[in-house]
Structure 1
Amino acid sequence: MSRDMGRPKSLSSKMNTDGPLTRTGPNQFHSDFIATDFQSTVALNLPTTELLLGHTELNPATMAQTESVPLLEEAAILFATGQVKVAEHMLRSAIDLDNLGNAATLAWFMLFDLYQIEKNQYAFESLSLDYAGKYETSPPVWHNSETNIDAPESKDESAIPGLVFPSKLDGEIIKLLQKLNNLSDSSKVLKLDFGRVKTVDPVGCGLLLRAMRNLKKTKHDLVLVAAQNLTEQIRSILEVGRRDETEAPWLLLLEVLQLLQLKEVFEEASIDYCVTFEVSPPAFEAPTSKVTTAVAEAIPADENSDRFMMPKTIEGSTEALVKQIAAHAKNHDLVILDCSQLERVEFGASAQLLNGLVPISGTKGKSVQFHEVNYLVMHLFNAMGLKNVAAIFPRKQS
């Protein structure tokens, strides 16, 4: 896994994401599926629309009846593997064809969640009109969640100051980096969160590279959140042998790999960089300041809390997250995992999470429950088998 993390897509052994994916068996996919007409071959035995709309409580036994809708699980897996547009098209087509019976409302809720996560308010509002017309009831409400970069990062004065980078790492981050420069004057420890980054371009890479090098010169200690996600987004725009206008994305990738002290991965990436630009490969330099890595926006509940707050995204290694959950579980027989802030779980991370929760749920007297789960994540969890180790309660639509 570590070898793949720093390599460009063209040389990495990764799941093919050039086209849509379909499952031909457990955890098997091929890429010739066309999302046009979806016929469910499973007899649906689902709760009533009233129950699905959140007007009554769901219990684990009831939720078990909603767990075998192959099309919806397929869409959830596509979303988890980053094929957002394909997942969107599949859900939109299912809604238009209206061939899911009582499960139709679940497809609507999944699409609402997708638009909310992607911050596509126009599509969300358009879907709301269609929903209200079809069901003659109020649609889910759009929630504004954008962070104001001019606002303080935290009301807790003891918290580590830092920044959460936006979904697009482009020229617009210059305002954010100006704020980072101001923060660096007042604190020797800074937190950089890359959990929301979904796309990068050379300009944004160049700006961030300059900022990272400045922090190295000033010997700032760093807390890097979801740095692996950043490396994945950078390498998605790289191709060995293709000489782009700027070397900035390559150099930023190498800079981050050094901060993460991934020497072997760094050396592989440096050779690819050398081949591409016909230069001598740079030498690995371990960071001289303290660099700590963290799970994306992990917010573990304190010892006295009844709930454990799950992070906004779960990707890459889940080892740190599982350790936090296990620590919380020591003080609680009923382990409630609050997913109200959770937007997306990476496909591979969901399998790791399952493996990590098995020992906890298997402990005598312990039970694990996911609460307030969005519908995309719920169907991913169902497809991956987390229903076998925990009860899954979807969030109410309001």
Structure 2
Amino acid sequence: MVFSLFKKPKPSENEPKTVPRPKSVVPPAAPAERHHVSPDADSVAVASVPPLDFTATSPSGTNRAGGASPAAATEFHDDDLDALDFSGLEVTDVGIQVEHQEDPLQGLLEQVAMLYASGADAQVAAILADARNQHRQGALAERLWLMQLDLYQVLDQRSEFDQLALEFAHTFEKSPPTWLVHQDACPVAPLPPGTLQFKGGLEGGNEDGFAPLQSALEQCKRGGALAWDFSRVTLIDPDGCARLAACFDQARQRKITVALSGVDGLLTRLAPRCETGKREAEGCWLLLLNLLALSGDTAGFEERAVDYAVTFEVSPPAWEPVKAAGGAVPAHSAPVAEETFCLSGQLIGERFAGLADFAAGHGQVVIDLARVQRMDFSSAGALLNALTPLKAAGKTVVVRGAHQLLVELLNLVGVAAVAQIVPPKR
């Protein structure tokens, strides 16, 4: 039997209306007569059964003898479908189970590394404390404990570190890690004599930082030379960038030679603030263009100048390089005894601009992360991108001194495939 899922068109007013056929009333059957059987009866009376019809019926509603079957006499209309109720039907989702061959604890280590990289220290501490009580044997469990010890080290929680170190020795039956004392920053090559080091953040209200620069400009003779260092700058804002750009404009007008260090760090911090189409940080754009001119990057200057013109709907600034002296030192990195590439502090959005130049003069590239407290995920990926061509060029790459939270992050992004990761001596 076929049902139409489409409504029948309503009959026009001129067409005769179909009068429903009255249902035939079937009189109720007379109650069957009960036959009582006496105990001494010789026979039993049986109620007669009407003959059964076993004639086969075809799907079309007619029997093979050519007559219509009783079911065919019932007439169905499209409107009858509206009365059907499907609300009781239930749809059961099909579950797909995926079997994981990896140890669940390995996944936990990676989760903790990602959370720490994003700065969720409280959540990391809670997860490690709970997991440590459940995992007390095996190599993965030992790495878990080292992560919490290093978290205490980074957060400068000495008493918690000492208590956990004793428990570590008892649990794993080996000497525990010791508390490490590092300098706050990597030792750097001495700055040229007379270099003025910028104090504090590159922010518009930082008079302690800008007053010495302005004074140096005023006292410097026309055609003279100045040396400024920005390697310790970690904070910037548009107003501070605009003030520094104005200082460069003054130097250009008076033909003053400017020797800068820490340029790479400034460029790294400026890049995410200078997005084409966003006008919120014009001061950052002005400083970026000045630094590109200072570094002699003609192609980079022209590209960003066009972006600046599109963003602020003005003519692109002309190429007018600032006269600069050599000897620039990367913002976050410096060669230590010309043997290691040292990094320190919080590496957020780091692009390791000075690493390629350092590696060019070394067959073995040693990167020291002993003073790095935290590295975000994007910086870890940038480090992998910087190390991959060095490995392809046949250089030996060693990353040393990273605490366990950093080691797990580096393993997660794949640094171990291109470099040897050496933990600190404990």
TM-score normalized by the length of structure 2: 0.54
- Mapping for residues 351-366 of structure 1, pairs under 5 Å: 351-359=384-392, 362=394
Aligned partners of 1:265, 1:172: CA distance in 2, in Å?
27
Alignment partner of 1:340 is 2:370: yes
**Residues 159 and 324 from structure 1, CA distance in 2 versus in 1: closer, same or farther, beyond 3 angstroms?**
farther
Alpha carbons 1:310, 1:339 under 8 Å: kept: yes
Alignment partner of 1:111 is 2:140: no
Alpha carbons 1:308, 1:328 under 8 Å: kept: no
Alpha carbons 2:204, 2:240 under 8 Å: kept: yes
Which residue number corresponds to residue 75 of structure 1?
A: 115
**Residues 374 and 146 from structure 1, CA distance in 2 versus in 1: closer, same or farther, beyond 3 angstroms?**
same
Instruction: Report 1 or 2 for greater relative contact order, CA contacts < 8 Å, sequence distance ≥ 6.
Output: 1
Which residue number corresponds to residue 284 of structure 1?
A: 318
Percent identity at matched positions? Answer: 16
Question: Residue 406 of structure 2 aligns to a residue in which SS?
Answer: helix
Question: Residue 310 of structure 1 aligns to a residue in which SS?
Answer: strand
1:135-190 deviation digits (Å, cap 9, x = unpaired) = 4489846767389xxxxx98947467242564x43245321223334556577142
Aligned residue among 238, 256, 259 for 1:222: 259
Q: How much does 1:265 deviate?
A: 1.5
Aligned partners of 1:154, 1:389: CA distance in 2, in Å?
27
**Residues 327 and 252 from structure 1, CA distance in 2 versus in 1: closer, same or farther, beyond 3 angstroms?**
closer
Which residue number corresponds to residue 296 of structure 1?
A: 331
Q: What residue identity is the alignment partner of 2:403?
A: N
**Alignment RMSD:** 4.3
Aligned residue among 241, 245, 250 for 1:205: 241
Aligned partners of 2:284, 2:353: CA distance in 1, in Å?
28
**Residues 227 and 325 from structure 1, CA distance in 2 versus in 1: closer, same or farther, beyond 3 angstroms?**
same
Aligned partners of 1:251, 1:352: CA distance in 2, in Å?
29
Alpha carbons 2:397, 2:418 under 8 Å: kept: yes
Aligned partners of 1:131, 1:288: CA distance in 2, in Å?
51
Listed as ranges, the gaps of 5+ residues in structure 1 are 1-39, 46-66, 117-123, 148-152, 275-279
**Residues 269 and 338 from structure 1, CA distance in 2 versus in 1: closer, same or farther, beyond 3 angstroms?**
same
Aligned residue among 287, 307, 310 for 1:271: 310
Aligned partners of 1:284, 1:272: CA distance in 2, in Å?
16
Question: Residue 333 of structure 2 aligns to a residue in which SS?
Answer: coil
Q: Which structure has the larger Rg over C-alpha atoms?
A: 2
Q: What residue identity is the alignment partner of 2:334?
A: I
Q: How much does 1:358 deviate?
A: 0.7
Q: How much does 1:343 deviate?
A: 5.0
Alpha carbons 1:205, 1:252 under 8 Å: kept: yes
Q: What residue identity is the alignment partner of 1:213?
A: D
Alpha carbons 1:231, 1:256 under 8 Å: kept: no
Aligned partners of 1:140, 1:172: CA distance in 2, in Å?
39
Question: Residue 339 of structure 1 aligns to a residue in which SS?
Answer: strand
Aligned residue among 382, 403, 407 for 1:378: 407
Q: What residue identity is the alignment partner of 1:350?
A: L
Listed as ranges, the gaps of 5+ residues in structure 2 are 1-100, 136-140, 168-176
Q: What residue identity is the alignment partner of 1:340?
A: A
Aligned partners of 2:421, 2:185: CA distance in 1, in Å?
27
Alpha carbons 1:240, 1:272 under 8 Å: kept: yes
Aligned partners of 1:396, 1:286: CA distance in 2, in Å?
51
Aligned partners of 1:142, 1:263: CA distance in 2, in Å?
46
Q: What residue identity is the alignment partner of 2:368?
A: D
Q: What residue identity is the alignment partner of 2:356?
A: V
Aligned partners of 1:337, 1:383: CA distance in 2, in Å?
18
Alpha carbons 1:308, 1:337 under 8 Å: kept: yes
